[in-house]
Amino acid sequence: MMASPPSISIPFLSLLLIIAVCIVPRMTAFDPLFRYDNATLELASQDYGLIVRDRPDSVFEPKYVRDIQFLIRQKYNRHDKNLSLRAHAHSTRGQCQVLGGIVINMTSIKNTSRINIGHNNIGYYADVGGELLWLDILKATLKRNLAPVSWTDYLHASVGGTLSNGGISGQSFKHGPQISNVYSLNAITGKGEMKTCTPTSNSDLFNAVLGGLGQFAVITQARIRLDKAPTGATVTRLMYSDFQRFSDDQEFLISSDLPNYVEGFVIVNNIIPSGWITSNSSVTLRDIDALLKNYTVLYAIEFAMYYDNQTSDTVHQKFQMLVGKLTFIPNFSFTVEMSYFDFLYRVGDLDTIQQQYPQAHPWLVLFIPGSQKNDFNKYVLAGLLPQLGQAPTIPLFYPLNATKWSNKTSAVIPDEEIFYTLGLLHRSAVSHYKKFDRFNQKLLSICRKNGIICKKYLPYYDNQGHVGIPSQKDLRGHLMNNWLDVQNTLTWRKHGPNDKAKAKKCEEKPRSDNKRLSNGDSRAEDRCKVRYKYGQYTPLEKLQGRFLRFLKNEGMLASFHDELLSQ
């Protein structure tokens, strides 16, 4: 006789029903957001640079912001796979990739309704999703005759990406970088908590995220400053053979209230000015070639003044007056009229070109103290750049006002009122990028040898093969006087077998180290708890260690490498 099956009580059946209804659907609804197919993983292992290829284990495609929260919360509790954010992948050295980890595809939540324009006592603003393109923002705000005041040269970059770096262009001297024009952020912390932060509320988080290289939180929304949009721009390019006149005129322009945009170029071949020659120009490429033979290197200022229908005549008069005060080579000027949209979108869509004709982009972007500009010109601009020959590199060189940058954010700039940015926007066949890497390393070596202090913008590091993970030496050089006790890594350090015991020991006997800052301050800091509580070393402490307190309170997104976008 067969034994009868054990009876199941009604309460137990109810418990099973609760589990089936409440837990299983939640997980099954979450799992389909992961992609494991080869095409998706291959795409996630590439970026605009086409130099680094780190293949993830999976790609997460959130439908809503809350999906990202859930994923990060699970990761925070388990400390397992590393995460990386990927929007439009304009990093050039794999900063939006993660080997064997999870890439979060931010574009999967793209929705134009995530652009909302409003007005308060401060003025007009736009609440925008972090995954959106700046081009999306421009189109939406222009419909209301409004626009952000600070831009990057390339509008196919994402909001979250540029705010994670700084966001610089020719408007930055006047309005500061894009991170100086943010009223508030919505960000997901390393604990998976959504927080709204401003300069006065959750300010540690706000300042850490802006320019923080994607290491502190996920930017899901930003409130961006808007102003009345102009309708047109008068744009001129002026050529120089003398560096001192070139730099003096640039600094004169950025000290004036008249220009809206100022950038500069270093010309070592006729590739850049070939697009400047217009039908009404008296200067030809042959004339430029003749100058290059005489001087080896030339310089050019590009500046613009904006206007609308009411101010057009006045602006053009002031424009001519301003040009008359500059000391460029006579007749070597090129002026065009453009709509405001066309001027901002002058670079166009490089993504489509990249898809059709893939090229590597071993870029190098530096900040140089204004006091060292002459040495930099001697050894680099005039001394080294001519060796590029006919390479299709665009060397940018123009000044910025440090007073327009907040010294509270994570962005690292030289400690001088005026500093310059050099942008070597190299491109090459995918298999030939190392030639430009060697050139970049030679440039940095020349600067070190001659005592020229450079700060990397859009930094990357390759520490024992782990791209994006700075070594202690890398960070010491990057932070300089802001360096305190950064210990080797900005990514989650997986828990070892003895970590729990070490963490407990830290709680019982916290170790405090006295460190003296460059400005003379000293303080005791308990770093031991931080290291073992979060499974990582102390990150990017700077300016009296304000981020240490932030780290203890919020948890750092140490494994996030938000895409590092071009200017």
Answer whether 550's CB lies under 8 Å from 205's CB: yes
Q: What is the DSSP letter of 372?
A: G
Sort residue 226 into left (φ over 0), alpha (ψ -120 to 50) or beta: beta
- CATH classification for the domain delimited by 232-480, as one of 2.40.50.140, 3.50.50.60, 3.40.462.10, 3.10.350.10: 3.40.462.10
Please, how many CA atoms are within 13 Å of residue 484, restricted to the half-sphere of its CB? 26
Question: What is the secondary structure of 122-133 as a DSSP string?
Answer: S-EEEEEETTSB
What residue ranges do the domains of the chain occupy?
25-107, 115-228, 232-480
| Domain covering 25-107: architecture | 2-Layer Sandwich (3.30)
Q: What is the DSSP letter of 109?
A: G
- Catalytic-residue membership of 316: no
CATH number belonging to domain 115-228: 3.30.465.10
Sort residue 221 into left (φ over 0), alpha (ψ -120 to 50) or beta: beta
Is pTM beyond 0.75 here? yes
Q: Token pair 């709204």 is at which residue? A: 196
Catalytic residue among 88, 90, 361, 478: 90
Let me know if 455 is exposed, middle or buried by CB neighbors in 10 A (0-12, 13-18, 19+). Answer: buried
Nearest to 541 by CA among 488, 479, 489, 496: 479
- Catalytic-residue membership of 153: yes
Catalytic residue among 67, 131, 249, 263: 263
Catalytic residue among 54, 61, 131, 153: 153
Three-state SS at 462:
strand
pLDDT tens for the 567 residues of the chain, in order:
444 444 445 444 444 444 444 443 344 456 779 989 999 999 988 888 888 888 999 999 999 999 999 888 887 566 567 788 888 888 888 888 888 888 999 989 866 578 999 999 999 999 999 999 999 999 999 999 999 999 999 999 999 999 999 999 999 999 999 999 999 999 998 888 899 999 999 998 999 899 988 878 899 999 999 999 999 999 999 999 999 999 999 999 999 999 999 999 999 988 888 788 877 788 888 999 999 999 999 999 999 999 999 999 999 999 999 999 999 999 999 999 999 999 999 998 888 888 888 899 899 999 999 999 999 999 999 999 999 988 989 899 999 999 999 988 988 899 999 999 999 999 999 999 999 999 999 999 999 999 999 988 877 655 444 444 444 455 455 544 443 333 222 332 233 334 444 444 444 443 333 333 333 333 223 333 333 332 222 233 232 233 333 443 444 443 333 332 222
